[in-house]
């Protein structure tokens, strides 16, 4: 924002951002609700929505039948099919991409196995290929506002790829989009659990909660932490590495060099090892092992009981430290929690402080497997939502 911006103009831009953000998060909203929720008068709301409508970001119309008498308040909706971002997810064994409309609506998607090998180039090329493919079928008058990428911490640890490398390679891979994007349009990177936490906090199982922990399981375990309504990512974005919290000093060696890390007790390799199952495609194998446990397979049942017990052990510690009101179990931990919930609750009941455990609810992701992608899209939209009409777009 330039220093010559008048105070009135500055307030208008803030109000435009607040209004568009409200619509983006809540979906179609009546002008009457906007007036009361944003604390602005009716004529101001009318002027702001007119500006956003002229810019093609929202549209206005009569609501669906409410059954109530009287003239209905005009409803403002995000133009999800016209305004969109790209959301990407880089996991150890698979790549995903989605075109996500304003309002968090997934419009198109692609998924594939991650190309094998230690070189990031084929992976980045595959992600860029997904985007190019979806771009071809996007409406020609639609507006691209940014891109975000969720990176599994397992990629950082097992492949040793630095975020900076991934970020610059991806920016290069998406260079063809550059003419359509402004300078502040990304790609922006975030941890997979961190972005899934953001998504569930914004529009999923943790909506309205200001203290949230999202636990993501794949080859490793990571946490997305929201405390006091703010994402806690640490100095270099590596906060939330709860998988390397030492819970069992006499446990197994961890890939990080330490011993008895949480992920050596509840990670997918640990679970499959205990269940006596090979590890060809871990994600699917974990689901199969958990299903076998539900059907009474004794080895699988013992493995699930062991891992769920340790899951509760770590969750109790996190609940004591962060006092969240919502804990969400995503990735492979979703299946583990659903099958071993009794073990998790037992540990929580015996280990967490009463004041901390009394207010915590345990959930699976309301956005399901899409949570990391929807969170990556939030990064893509951030610049637009901060300053809707002047967000550095060309």
Q: Note the residues at the interface with Zn ion (CB under 5 A).
A: 244, 254, 256, 258, 261
Q: Report the half-sphere exposure of 239 (CA within 13 A, side-chain side).
A: 15
193 neighbors 241 (Cβ within 8 angstroms): no
Q: Which is nearer to Zn ion, 72 or 255 (CB)?
A: 255
194 neighbors 232 (Cβ within 8 angstroms): no
Q: Which is nearer to Zn ion, 222 or 301 (CB)?
A: 222
- Find the shortest distance in angstroms from Cβ 217 to Zn ion: 14
Q: Which is nearer to Zn ion, 49 or 222 (CB)?
A: 222
> Could you tell me which of 383, 387, 394 has the C-alpha nearest to residue 187?
383
Q: Which is nearer to Zn ion, 177 or 254 (CB)?
A: 254
- Find the shortest distance in angstroms from Cβ 254 to Zn ion: 3
217, containing H or E segment: strand 212-217
Sheet containing strand 212-217, edge to edge, reads: 230-232, 221-227, 212-217, 326-331, 361-363
> Regarding beta strands 221-227 and 212-217, do their DSSP bridges make them parallel or antiparallel, or are they unpaired?
antiparallel
- Find the shortest distance in angstroms from Cβ 327 to Zn ion: 21
Q: Which is nearer to Zn ion, 13 or 252 (CB)?
A: 252
- Find the shortest distance in angstroms from Cβ 273 to Zn ion: 16
- Find the shortest distance in angstroms from Cβ 318 to Zn ion: 16
Q: Which is nearer to Zn ion, 74 or 92 (CB)?
A: 92
Q: Which is nearer to Zn ion, 57 or 261 (CB)?
A: 261
Q: Which is nearer to Zn ion, 261 or 293 (CB)?
A: 261
- Find the shortest distance in angstroms from Cβ 261 to Zn ion: 3
What distances in angstroms separate CA 363 from CA 22, 104, 128, 215, 322, one per listed residue? 25, 21, 33, 10, 17
- Find the shortest distance in angstroms from Cβ 373 to Zn ion: 27
237 neighbors 244 (Cβ within 8 angstroms): no
- Find the shortest distance in angstroms from Cβ 365 to Zn ion: 24
- Find the shortest distance in angstroms from Cβ 244 to Zn ion: 4
Structure tokens belonging to residue 182:
């402004």
b (16+ CB within 10 A) / e for 243-276: bbbebeeebeebbeeeebbbbbbbbbbbbbebbe
Name the region of 107 (left: φ>0; alpha: ψ -120 to 50; beta: rest): alpha
> Could you tell me which of 189, 202, 163, 182 has the C-alpha nearest to residue 22?
202
What distances in angstroms separate CA 170 from CA 134, 152, 185, one per listed residue? 16, 15, 13
SS3 364: coil
Specify the residue for token string 């004794």: 298
Q: Which is nearer to Zn ion, 47 or 256 (CB)?
A: 256
Residues 6 or more apart in contact with residue 373 via CB below 8 angstroms: 87, 88, 89, 96, 97, 98, 100, 106, 109, 150, 199
Q: Is the bond into 145 cis (omega within 30 degrees of 0)?
A: no
- Find the shortest distance in angstroms from Cβ 268 to Zn ion: 14
Q: Which is nearer to Zn ion, 192 or 254 (CB)?
A: 254
């Amino acid at each position: 924002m330039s220093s010559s911006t008048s105070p009135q103009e500055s307030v208008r831009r803030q109000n435009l951002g607040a209004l568009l953000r409200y619509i983006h998060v809540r979906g179609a909203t009546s002008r009457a609700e906007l007036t009361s929720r944003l604390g602005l008068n009716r004529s101001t709301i009318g002027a702001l929505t007119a500006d956003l409508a002229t810019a093609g970001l929202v549209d206005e119309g009569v609501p669906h039948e409410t059954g109530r008498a009287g003239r209905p308040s005009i409803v403002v909706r995000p133009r999800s099919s016209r305004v969109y971002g790209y959301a990407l997810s880089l996991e150890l064994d698979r790549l995903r991409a989605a075109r996500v409309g304003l309002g968090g609506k997934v419009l198109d998607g692609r998924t594939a196995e991650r190309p094998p090998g230690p070189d990031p180039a084929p992976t980045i090329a595959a992600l860029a290929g997904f985007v190019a493919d979806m771009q071809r079928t996007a409406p020609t008058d639609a507006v691209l506002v940014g891109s975000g990428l969720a990176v599994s911490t397992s990629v950082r640890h097992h492949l040793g790829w630095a975020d900076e490398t991934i970020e610059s390679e991806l920016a290069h891979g998406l260079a063809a989009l550059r003419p359509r994007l402004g300078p502040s349009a990304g790609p922006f990177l975030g941890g997979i659990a961190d972005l899934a936490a953001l998504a569930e906090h914004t529009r999923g199982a943790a909506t309205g909660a200001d203290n949230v922990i999202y636990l993501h399981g794949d080859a490793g375990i990571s946490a997305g932490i929201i405390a006091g309504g703010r994402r806690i990512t640490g100095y270099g974005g590596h906060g939330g590495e709860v998988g390397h919290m030492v819970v069992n000093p006499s446990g197994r060696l961890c890939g990080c060099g330490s011993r008895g890390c949480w992920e050596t007790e509840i990670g997918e390799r640990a679970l499959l090892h205990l269940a006596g199952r090979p590890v060809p495609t871990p994600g699917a194998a974990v689901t199969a092992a958990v299903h076998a446990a539900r059907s009474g397979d004794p080895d699988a049942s013992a493995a699930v009981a062991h891992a769920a017990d340790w899951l509760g052990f770590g969750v109790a510690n996190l609940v004591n430290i962060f006092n969240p009101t919502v804990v969400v179990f995503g990735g492979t931990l979703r299946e583990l929690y659903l099958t071993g919930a009794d073990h998790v609750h037992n540990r929580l009941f015996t280990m967490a402080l009463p004041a901390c455990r009394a207010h915590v609810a345990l959930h699976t992701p309301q956005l399901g497997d899409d949570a990391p992608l929807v969170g990556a899209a939030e990064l893509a939209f951030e610049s637009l939502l901060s300053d809707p009409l002047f967000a550095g777009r060309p």
